[in-house]
Amino acid sequence: MAFTVAIDGPAASGKGTISKRVAAHFGLGHLDTGLLYRAVGRRMLDGEEPVSAARALVPGDLEVEGLRTAAVGEAASRVGALPEVRAALLDFQRAFARRSGGAVLDGRDIGTVICPEAEAKLFVTASAEVRAERRFRELVAAGADTRFEAVLEDIRARDERDMGRSDAPLRPADDAVTIDTSRLDVEAAVAAAIAAVDAARDVRSAGGSSRG
């Protein structure tokens, strides 16, 4: 039976890094659902109507270059507030979650809306300052000319929009395990995530055997 791991959290919390490592550890497929919204956001910046763009999206659109920029992230969070865009992206995400080998999906609403039945749910978070510091370092390493305060402002604006929207707002599912990475390095955060998924697998197999 497919095993689904749902990983949600705010921008730069480390959920993408953790998701890749958890998927590799357990031999599961991985979908970064932020790329779907980024692909639609980018098409909107190119002048397309976002709902039509979301309906016309094909898997190859997730592989185009330039989806990781701050401008596309901001556009993604604007199109992510549109219920018709979210509805258009639902089936692709659910089909990926049901893959026979099992899957890790990361985003904002995986545990609450896309896969409420996921066997393991994690909510990865960190303070806005720590997240802004991580993003700032990435941008500087990539040669961008930016200020820490501007990055922090961007993180806060995106948090507000993602948590404040009425359709699928960012929040932990009631049964999610929260991992605060503010004081954890990548290795410690990955270890905590793997332990949480292992615990969920143990609960599931115990439940399965007691049912016969």
* List of residues contacting ligand CDP (CB under 6 A): 9, 11-17, 33-34, 37-38, 73, 76-77, 80, 107-109, 134, 138, 158, 162, 181, 184-186, 189
Q: HSE (CB half, 13 Å, CA atoms) of 108?
A: 25
Q: Which is nearer to ligand CDP, 56 or 90 (CB)?
A: 90
> Residue 102 CB, nearest distance to ligand CDP (Å)?
19
> Residue 22 CB, nearest distance to ligand CDP (Å)?
12
Q: Which is nearer to ligand CDP, 57 or 189 (CB)?
A: 189
**Do the annotations mark residue 83 as ligand-binding?**
no
**Do the annotations mark residue 15 as ligand-binding?**
yes
> Residue 156 CB, nearest distance to ligand CDP (Å)?
12
**Do the annotations mark residue 13 as ligand-binding?**
yes
CB burial string 182-212: b at 16+ within 10 A, e below? eebeeeebbebbeebbeebeeeeeeeeeeee
Starting at the earlier edge strand, list the strands of the sheet with 177-180.
Answer: 29-32, 103-107, 4-8, 120-125, 177-180
Q: Which is nearer to ligand CDP, 9 or 50 (CB)?
A: 9
Q: Which tokens belong to 85?
A: 């865009």
What's the Rg (C-alpha) of the chain?
A: 17
> Residue 35 CB, nearest distance to ligand CDP (Å)?
6
Q: Which tokens belong to 60?
A: 């190859």
